Amino acid sequence: MTAHLDHLIIPARDRNASARRIAELFGVPWATSGVGPFSPVYLNDGLTLDFDEWGENVPRQHYCFRVGQEEFEAILDRIRTAGIAYRSMPHGPMDHQINTAHGGSIVYWEEPDGHVWELLTVSYARQPG
């Protein structure tokens, strides 16, 4: 059997604002409500991000998405246009640089809820050690 990730529940202080922001950056549709108490972002035909409102105690999470180079450039352009600070490393200062150390392009940014979002073109997690 092949398993496919269908949806993720992402905690947020304001589910609609968080869903709208990620949907706008990725250039995908979203809704103020879906199944259950969630604001869904339809990332692709097989994955939905369900933003759930948690109030003040939102645990910090890390979410990484692999895209093609053309999509990377389009999303990064939207990040820049939105005035969102980004960095080349998982931790550290917002250097507005692109990491190319793993044979592709990588950037990281944070959302108001504290989540760290990673965008990459080549999966370093799947490269031979």
Domains of the chain: 1-56 (3.30.720.120), 60-129 (3.10.180.10)
Name the band, by pLDDT with cuts 50, 70 and 90, for residue 128: low
Residues facing residue 28 across a β-bridge: none
Contact status, residue 9 vs residue 50, Cβ threshold 8 Å: yes
What residues contact residue 95 under an 8 Å CB cut-off, 6+ apart? Answer: 87, 88, 89
Q: What is the pLDDT of residues 2-39, one digit of tens each?
A: 888 999 999 999 999 999 999 999 999 999 998 889 99
User: At 55, is the pLDDT very low, low, confident or very high (cuts 50, 70, 90)?
Assistant: confident
Q: Alpha helix (H) ranges present in 13-101?
A: 15-26, 69-81
> What pTM was estimated for this model as a whole?
0.91
